[in-house]
Structure formats: C-alpha cells, structure tokens
Chain A
Amino acid sequence: MSTNNMSDPRRPNKVLRYKPPPSECNPALDDPTPDYMNLLGMIFSMCGLMLKLKWCAWVAVYCSFISFANSRSSEDTKQMMSSFILWPLSLLPSAAVLDFPE
C-alpha cells in the first residue's frame, strides 16, 4: 500500500474540476483585435452604405473576416454575426456594380 502510494503520484481523491478563468478583465487584456476589427467593420460598412463608397464596403468585408478569424470562443456568436451581416448590405448594391461610380 505504502509502496504503491510512493510510486504512483496520482490521487483520485484530490481531483479538482476545471474552472474556466474569470472573464471579467481577461478578454479585453488578452487580445483586442477581434473587437477592434468588429467595430471597424461596422463603421466601414455603414460608411459604404451611406456614402456609397465601394472601397469602404470591401474594407468592411475584410475587417469582418479578420475579426472572425481572431475571435475568441467565449464571444457571443450574435456579436460576431452583427458585423458579418452588415458587409453584405453595403456590398450588395455595389456588387452588381450598378450604382456606385468607380
């Protein structure tokens, strides 16, 4: 019994469950990239839509893709989707290349 204890460091009675680290300040501290990109994406898509600038719409597309690629798992899907939804809205009018001047 004692030899078993000595050689085997495992202690089944001392198992502690995993507790995800508190997320109060960590997400912001870790890496602000997805949040910035999300915001930029929304701004650019709004600009593209209102001011009818095609390049704005495309930058918004890129921003939302980058935000998605860098996203944290703890983030709400809804938050991410919000910027993802905006760029098609601004890009569609220009996608047909109908209205926007070059």
Chain B
Amino acid sequence: MKAVHAFCVVLLVFGSVSEAKFDDFEDEEDIVEYDDNDFAEFEDVMEDSITESPQRVITTEEDEDETTVELEGQDENQEGDFEDADTQEGDTESEPYDDEEFEGYEDKPDTSSSKNKDPITIVDVPAHLQNSWESYYLEILMVTGLLAYIMNYIIGKNKNSRLAQAWFNTHRELLESNFTLVGDDGTNKEATSTGKLNQENEHIYNLWCSGRVCCEGMLIQLRFLKRQDLLNVLARMMRPVSDQVQIKVTMNDEDMDTYVFAVGTRKALVRLQKEMQDLSEFCSDKPKSGAKYGLPDSLAILSEMGEVTEGMMDTKMVHFLTHYADKIESIHFSDQFSGPKIMQEEGQPLKLPDTKRTLLFTFNVPGSGNTYPKDMEALLPLMNMVIYSIDKAKKFRLNREGKQKADKNRARVEENFLKLTHVQRQEAAQSRREEKKRAEKERIMNEEDPEKQRRLEEAALRREQKKLEKKQMKMKQIKVKAM
C-alpha cells in the first residue's frame, strides 16, 4: 500500500514537470491513454531509455503535431498521465496497429531522428552554428595568405639586412682608410664614427662618410629590392630588377672645375637626360657611343663638350668602365647638380635652384635580384673607381677655351631661366598688387562708420595720386636722360 502511494507521488511529480515543459503544446493536445501496444514501435528506444542516466527524448514531427515523451525508469506497463498530441485522430487508441492510425504518415516514425525528407521543410541550421570547416573557407584562405605575407616579410627583411652588413664588411677597410668619419646619423653631439649603416627602411640603408681631401662628404645609399613585400616579390618574378648602390660625392667648390658629364647604359642616360635638371640643360645632344674611347657598346656618353670627355676618359677610367660595365648603371659628374627637375606650379616664380658640385654613381649589384652576401665583394673595385674619380675630378681642369665655353653655357642657361621667370614674376607682382587693392576696397566697404569710410577712401586716393606722380617723374627723368 505504501509502495503504491509512493509510486503515485512520483508519477504525479513527473507528470507535472512534463506538463510544465509542454505548455506550448497544450492547445493542440488531447490527453490520451496509452496502451502498452502503442509503444510497440518504440520498443528499441524505450529499452535504450531504461538505462542509468535519465534521458528525455523529444521527437517532434511538425506536420503531425505529435509529441512523444519517453521517461526513464518507467515500466512499459505504467499508466499515467501521458500527454500526446494527436489532433488528426483525436481518438482513444485501444487497438494496436490500426491502419487508420498511419494515415497521413509517409515514413514510419521508427527513427528518432527529427529530420525527414519531404514534405517537411526543415530550416537549415545557420552557418555560424555549424561546426564544419567549410563555413570558414574564406577565413582560412585569408589567414593563410596573411601568414605567408608575414613570413615573407621576416625572411626578406633579414636577407636585406644580411646583404647590407656583407657590403659594409667588405668596404669598411677601404672607407676607413679614406675617410675620417665613417657612419654618421646626424643625431650625436660629437662627430664620431658610428661605424654602422643607418637603416632608413627595410630595404634602404645609408652611410655617410666625411673628412677627406677634395670632397665634403660621400653619401652611400644601398637601395635593395623590397624583399619584405610579397607583392613586390611576385612582381619581380615577371620583371627582374637589381639591387642598387647609389653613391653621391659632394665636392668642394675649389676642387672641381665647371663641367657636366655622364656615362652609363643608354637606357639610364636617356632617362637621366629627361629627369635631371643639369643634364637636360647642358647636355642637349643624344647619348653618344663610347666606342671611340674603347668602351663597350652597352655604355654611352653624355657630355657638355668634347674636351670634358677627352679629359675624363683616361686609361684607368676606361679600364674600370670596360671591366665592370655590367655593374655600372650610370656615372654623373656635374658642377650644376640640383637634383631632378622640379615640377613647379603655375604662377609661382621660381628661383634658380641651388647647385652643388657632385659626383654621382649608380651601380647594379650582380645577381639581378638573386643576390647573395658574397656578391658584395664584386662591388669593391667599383668603390676604388669612386675614390679614383674623386681624385681625378680634383686634378682635371679645363683649358682656357673650355672654361670660356663652360662659362658661356652657364650664362646662357641663367639668362633663359630669368627670361622665363621674368614674365611669371611680373604676373605674380601684378596679381599681388591687385590683391592688395581688392583687400583695401573690401576693407573700406566693410567699414560701417561712414566717417571712417570717407577717410580711408581719401587716404587710398592720395596714395594712388602719389604713385602716379612718381611714375610721371620717372618718365620725365628718362626722357631727360635720353636727350
């Protein structure tokens, strides 16, 4: 008796819990009594459920609106309050396997899976709730690409650094024997050699050397390829480019005569002639072949006058140029060097750009991009050539004729420049005067006090009259002088 009582309590508890759970279905459900045989089909499931851990299997079939609840620990023979929605039938089922029971069922519901095929429309589980890799396809691809980029950045940076260090180690001795100051970044208070390269970029390294006869200083720039940028690396696969070493020697004014001269590959010279201010003004002819002086065909010469070429192309220089022609991009000596042509804006009068006596060298590192640290040794003879050129530039002097020609050229260029800018300067002055007048007028107009306005107007008139008088005086003076 007591056992039955306890059992009923347990049943009630379970029943109430299940009721609470299935409130949603209340409207559609009929409370139906189950026979044992109704569970015949679910036998397998029932057996599974009678295991240790309590399980609740809820089978939802939307079309049929049927809920099957299986509770653990219940005997098959239990009777209790089971709620089962069966709106279509609405009958108390007392007989097993009534065929009518299965009307409208397309599949036998013997699988506990909730997914049937037609005609049930099953909403896809949203992608972000799936755990398959396919949904992250794009992210995986992108992250892989980024990782590749970062790897390339690190590798490229290190390679450039190694190349720079190799270059410096090879050239250090030569530089230290020629210059007092080797390596300076301009930040130290005292001028002491830092003895190392300045890293401007991941692919550009600078070195400043100073303290030598003839020259103020020498700036060496190692312009490596952008190995740290993957895009650049890929672009270079299409079009091979070389690392470059650019050397700019600033000469003392008294140590270099006045001439403009360049030698290099034809392509480079054509480009320089277009870009560089001094080459375009003083060397207007096309680059000539250097075969006359024994240079290989790959090299051409741009010169202000023949005498300069004659003077420059001595035996040693020709030797250097012939032996290292493949590494030479361009060599440019000029006393009028002011850098590339500046694109000036309209209406802006420009001054003659400051010029400096400079020797510029651009060398290509052998390897065409696939450079190794040991290739830097091949550049050492070129540095010797640079030192030789510095000394040569000091020694080379134009003769009287050459000097006259050079001076005439420079005077001509200056005159042209002034003529060009004269018009511009006049226009600029005119526009400034007009601007002033306009501002004056506006001020007068904006003046609220009529008294003040009148006074300002009178002042302006007086000023204009004075100007006119002055001009008239000048004209009279000129006329008198002419007479």
A residues whose Cβ falls under 8 Å from a Cβ of B: 9-20, 25, 29, 54-55, 58, 61-62, 65-66, 69-74, 95-98, 102
Contact = CB atoms under 8 A, between A and B. Distances in A.
A97 B179 CA distance: 61
Contacts, number: 90
A16 B142 contact: no
B348 to A, nearest CB: 14
A69 B181 CA distance: 32
Contact of A69 (B180, B211, B228, B391): B228
B184 A69 contact: no
Interface of B: 127-128, 135-136, 138-139, 142, 145-146, 149-150, 153, 177-181, 184-186, 191, 199-202, 208, 210-214, 216-217, 219, 226, 228-232, 340, 342, 391
A16 B164 CA distance: 24
Contact of B184 (A11, A17, A58): A17
Contact of B210 (A15, A20, A102): A15
A98 B201 contact: no
A15 B139 contact: no
26 contacts: A9-B214, A10-B177, A10-B180, A11-B180, A11-B212, A11-B213, A15-B181, A15-B191, A17-B184, A17-B210, A18-B186, A18-B210, A18-B217, A18-B219, A62-B146, A65-B149, A66-B229, A69-B149, A69-B230, A70-B232, A73-B199, A74-B200, A96-B128, A97-B127, A97-B136, A102-B138
A70 B229 contact: yes
Given A17-B184, A17-B191, A70 B226 contact: yes
Contacts of A54: 138
Please report whether the interface of chain A is mostly helix, strand, loop or mixed according to DSSP: loop
Contact of A10 (B184, B211, B217): B211
A96 B138 CA distance: 12
Given A14-B212, A72-B200, A97-B139, A65 B146 contact: yes
A95 B139 contact: yes
Contacts of A70: 226, 229, 232
Given A11-B180, A69-B229, A97-B139, A16 B199 contact: no
A69 B145 contact: no
Interface centre among A9, A19, A61, A70 (most CB of B within 10 A): A9
Contacts of A72: 200-201
